[in-house]
């Protein structure tokens, strides 16, 4: 059985072909990073336009790389939400047309379920399958959620962010300091040059669910730190660099980033990692989990991966490879297989759902 999957919920146009649940025959991702970089975030109108440009060549390449003809397909899978509605619509409309033209069923996938399946798929490929019940931490630009996963395809919400998502915190802090979007990968690369113990951040105690996250206080603390230092010239130098080149290299960023700012980045990254891992570990303990899955764009953070492997967590932890952590379509195909096997198909009039929840 072969599934062609399409993902276009945010700023990557992606298509993949997977055979028999776990054989990734192709996974093509066209990133829009250089389009949105200088704006400090995704510009929805530009994202839709870029998806329209990329969708046909990306799907064609995924089919070609995997040696798949449309008649070889068992189903067409697509992300139906959550995400930017204009972006989702491009992938969804194209998937519907392919499903109609090839008379293959359409499988609608929740983007967050895709991220969870990326980790399940990769753990299987690495020969260390995820043991259930598991806890899944999905940390991306739009979401920071903790789910209990009693078995694949069953989810219960344990906690989520009350304000910004973890990736959004990385992106907003980067934007504030004059770096490009997305901020996560830049902070990841620059943080090792700073001292993570240099700036102390305190977390406000939250009432209610102890497994909920909050990142807005951290963002405000960074803003206060910046205001107190009058960093206008330094920030202007980075914005000027970004004006000259859409994707500056690590060396170029380092040349316009003095040590105190590198210390700030390292300390901020450490605080985000602590917030994520503390609540993930508490969730694993609460449900007596046999494994912890960490996925979503933020899961590709090298500091987070290193800390998770040295921290005393109550169970083994699984990260997808960085390529499967950020948005891709292989994860959508992986999540679609159990649905295909259950005969859970979508009608051709299904709508894109910007705020779709998983549970």
Question: Under the rule (CB under 6 A), what is the footprint of ligand KG4?
Answer: 10, 140-142, 167-168, 170-171, 182-185, 188, 296-298, 300-301, 326-327
Q: Say if CB 63 and CB 332 are below 8 A apart.
A: no
Residue 300 contacts which entry, ligand KG4, Zn ion, none (Cβ below 5-8 A, type-dependent): ligand KG4
Q: Say if CB 91 and CB 50 are below 8 A apart.
A: no
Distance CA 317, CA 283 (A): 13
CB of 190: closest distance to ligand KG4 in angstroms? Answer: 11
Q: Say if CB 327 and CB 29 are below 8 A apart.
A: yes
Residue 110 contacts which entry, Zn ion, ligand KG4, none (Cβ below 5-8 A, type-dependent): none
Nearer to ligand KG4, 26 or 328 (CB): 328
Residue 50 contacts which entry, Zn ion, ligand KG4, none (Cβ below 5-8 A, type-dependent): none
Which of 57-62's residues contact partners 24+ apart within 8 Å by CB, and which partners?
57/30, 58/13, 58/14, 58/15, 58/28, 58/29, 58/30, 59/4, 59/6, 59/15, 59/94, 59/98, 61/15, 61/26, 61/28, 62/4, 62/15, 62/16, 62/17, 62/26, 62/27, 62/28, 62/329
Contact between 328 and Zn ion (CB under 5 A)?
A: no
CB of 350: closest distance to Zn ion in angstroms? Answer: 20
CB of 298: closest distance to Zn ion in angstroms? Answer: 10
Q: Which residue is nearest to Zn ion (CB)?
A: 140
The token duo for 34 is 């250089």
CB of 45: closest distance to ligand KG4 in angstroms? Answer: 18
CB of 140: closest distance to Zn ion in angstroms? Answer: 4
209, burial (CB in 10 Å: exposed 0-12, middle 13-18, buried 19+): middle
* Three-state DSSP class for residue 13: strand
Q: Give the number of residues in contact with Zn ion, rule: CB under 5 A.
A: 2
The token duo for 344 is 């859970």
Which residues inside 137-166 make contact with Zn ion, applying CB under 5 A? 140
Residue 81 contacts which entry, ligand KG4, Zn ion, none (Cβ below 5-8 A, type-dependent): none
Contact between 11 and Zn ion (CB under 5 A)?
A: no
Nearer to ligand KG4, 105 or 141 (CB): 141
Contact between 325 and Zn ion (CB under 5 A)?
A: no
Nearer to ligand KG4, 188 or 275 (CB): 188
CB of 83: closest distance to Zn ion in angstroms? Answer: 8
**Distance separating the N- and C-terminal Cα atoms of the chain:** 28
Q: Which stretch binds Zn ion (CB under 5 A): 40-48, 64-72, 171-179, 323-331?
A: 323-331
CB of 189: closest distance to ligand KG4 in angstroms? Answer: 8
Q: Say if CB 73 and CB 102 are below 8 A apart.
A: yes
Contact between 327 and Zn ion (CB under 5 A)?
A: yes
Distance CA 209, CA 146 (A): 12
Residue 188 contacts which entry, Zn ion, ligand KG4, none (Cβ below 5-8 A, type-dependent): ligand KG4
- What are the angstrom distances between the C-alpha of 100 and each of 78, 193, 199, 283? 14, 53, 56, 43
Residues that bind Zn ion (CB under 5 A): 140, 327
């Amino acid at each position: 059985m072969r599934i062609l999957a399409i993902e276009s919920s945010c700023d990557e146009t992606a298509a993949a072909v997977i055979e028999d649940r776990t054989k990734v025959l192709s996974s093509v991702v066209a990133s829009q990073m250089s389009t949105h970089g200088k704006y400090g975030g995704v510009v929805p109108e530009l994202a839709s336009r870029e998806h329209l440009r990329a969708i046909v060549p990306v799907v064609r390449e995924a089919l070609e790389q995997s040696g798949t003809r449309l008649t070889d397909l068992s189903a067409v899978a697509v992300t139906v939400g959550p995400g930017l509605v204009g972006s989702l619509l491009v992938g969804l409309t194209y998937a519907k047309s392919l499903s109609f033209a090839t008379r293959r069923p359409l499988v609608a996938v929740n983007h967050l379920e895709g991220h969870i399946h990326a980790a399940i798929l990769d753990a299987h490929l690495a020969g260390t399958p995820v043991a259930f019940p598991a806890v899944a931490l999905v940390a991306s630009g739009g979401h920071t959620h903790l789910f209990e996963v009693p078995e694949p395809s069953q989810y219960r919400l344990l906690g989520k962010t009350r304000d910004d998502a973890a990736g959004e915190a990385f992106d907003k802090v980067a934007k504030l300091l004059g770096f490009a979007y997305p901020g996560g990968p830049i902070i990841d690369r620059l943080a090792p040059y700073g001292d993570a113990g240099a700036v102390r951040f305190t977390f406000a105690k939250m009432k209610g669910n102890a497994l909920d996250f909050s990142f807005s206080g951290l963002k405000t603390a960074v803003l206060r730190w910046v205001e107190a230092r009058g960093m206008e010239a330094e920030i202007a130098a980075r914005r000027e660099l970004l004006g000259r080149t859409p994707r500056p290299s690590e060396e170029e960023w380092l040349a316009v980033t003095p040590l105190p700012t590198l210390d700030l980045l390292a300390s901020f990254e450490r605080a985000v990692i602590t917030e994520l891992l503390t609540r993930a570990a508490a969730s694993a303990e609460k449900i007596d989990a046999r494994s912890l899955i960490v996925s979503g764009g933020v899961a590709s953070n090298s500091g987070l991966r290193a800390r998770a492997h040295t921290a005393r967590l109550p169970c083994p932890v699984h990260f997808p490879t960085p390529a499967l952590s950020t948005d891709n379509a292989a994860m959508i195909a992986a999540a679609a297989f159990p649905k295909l096997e259950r005969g859970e198909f979508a009608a051709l009039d299904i709508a894109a759902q910007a705020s779709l929840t998983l549970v």
